[in-house]
């Protein structure tokens, strides 16, 4: 069984404050995009996790794919499997690759062993693995609040149709991203902002992580500036990590000096 685990981008990300449980209260709109990791799962005599493509590092027992399997194995007693993750989504890049991988594994195991779980039950299980995991159960375009696990479908009719996604090869941990973030003081809701024409988003649709991440890693800010110079209707850093995306009304011919940092360019 083979499946594709999609990345996501964030249309605006507000860090509202710190919660009593130690997490941060956020508001963001997450959008699934057609850039994927590839996962294969087959039945096996013993559990195995193997990985190719971009090196993940760390102990395989800590990988979210392994943890997703263990969650279902502990709850439903499913047999051993072999999981092969072909990693293509950069790590620590604000694209949700690890979370998407975990949820894709959950979906695949449910299909493989014919478990009877609803989408709501899958979201509850996924939220145990990470704050943005639940988003990938339904994907699409969703408003996320709380620590990212409270989700509401949202319609935005005016999103430009072409995406350019760039990554400078910098890993930014969640701890680093939150260490010096300034809390949002915006009053308009993201729904209100996204109802405006995309040409107005540049001044209103903000990612609160950008200010201090750009100060520490100016090459990320440079990518955002270049996307606007190339004609992006809107450009921003995605999530808490180093990837930057631009939304365009027409396909873009990527300049040679940016091709090695471009991980996706095409329709949304």
Q: Residue 174: what pLDDT?
A: 79
Q: How confident is the model at residue 114 (pLDDT cuts 50, 70, 90)?
A: very high
The 10s digit of each residue's pLDDT in 156-179 is: 988 999 999 999 999 888 788 888
CATH number of the domain residue 235 falls in:
3.30.70.890
Distances 258 to 139, 184, 226, 234, 252 between C-alpha atoms, Å: 29, 32, 9, 18, 12
Q: What pLDDT was estimated at residue 179?
A: 83
Give the domain-ending residue among 153, 175, 200: 153
**Strand 48-53 to strand 81-87: parallel, antiparallel, or no bridges (unpaired)?**
parallel
How many C-beta neighbours within 10 Å does residue 225 have?
A: 13
Residue 182 reports pLDDT greater than 90: no
Pick the last residue of a domain from 125, 153, 181: 153
Mean pLDDT value across the chain? 94
| pTM of the predicted model over 0.75 | yes
Please tell me the predicted confidence (pLDDT) of residue 17.
Answer: 83
> Which of 109, 130, 153 delimits the end of a domain?
153
pLDDT at 60: 86
Q: Cα dist. 25→75, 121, 131, 148 in Å?
A: 30, 23, 11, 8
Q: Are residues 136 and 215 in the same domain?
A: no
DSSP 96: -
pLDDT at position 51, please? 95
Q: Do 108 and 219 lie in a common domain? A: no
- For residue 29, name the pLDDT band (cuts at 50, 70, 90): very high
In the prediction, which pLDDT does 177 show?
84
Average pLDDT on 39-54 reads 97
Alpha-carbon span 244 to 172, nearest angstrom: 13
Same domain, 128 and 214: no
Residues tagged active-site? 8, 132
The domain tally of the chain equals 2
């Amino acid at each position: 069984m083979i499946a594709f685990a999609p990345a996501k981008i964030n249309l605006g990300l507000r860090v509202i404050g710190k919660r009593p449980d130690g997490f941060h209260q956020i508001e963001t709109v997450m959008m699934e995009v057609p850039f994927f990791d590839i996962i294969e799962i087959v039945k096996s005599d013993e559990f195995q996790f193997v990985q190719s493509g971009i090196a993940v590092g760390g102990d395989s027992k800590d990988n979210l794919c392994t943890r997703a399997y263990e969650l279902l194995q502990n709850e439903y007693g499913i047999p051993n499997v072999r999981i092969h993750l072909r990693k293509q989504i950069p790590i620590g890049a604000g694209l949700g690759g690890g979370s998407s991988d975990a949820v894709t594994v959950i979906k695949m195991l449910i299909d493989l062993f014919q478990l009877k779980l609803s989408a709501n039950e899958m979201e509850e299980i996924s939220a145990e693995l990470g704050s943005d995991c639940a988003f990938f159960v339904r994907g699409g375009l969703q408003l996320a609040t709380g620590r990212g696990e409270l989700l509401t479908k949202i319609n935005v009719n005016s999103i430009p149709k072409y995406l350019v996604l760039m990554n400078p090869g910098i890993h930014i941990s969640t701890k680093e991203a939150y260490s010096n973030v300034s809390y949002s003081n915006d009053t308009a809701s993201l729904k209100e902002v996204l109802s405006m024409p995309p040409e107005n988003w540049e001044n209103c649709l903000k990612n609160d992580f950008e200010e201090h991440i750009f100060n520490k890693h100016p090459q990320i800010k440079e990518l955002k500036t270049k996307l606007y110079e190339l004609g992006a209707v809107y450009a921003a850093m995605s999530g808490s990590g180093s990837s930057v995306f631009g939304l365009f009304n027409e396909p873009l011919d990527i300049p040679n000096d940016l091709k090695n940092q471009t991980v996706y360019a095409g329709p949304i």
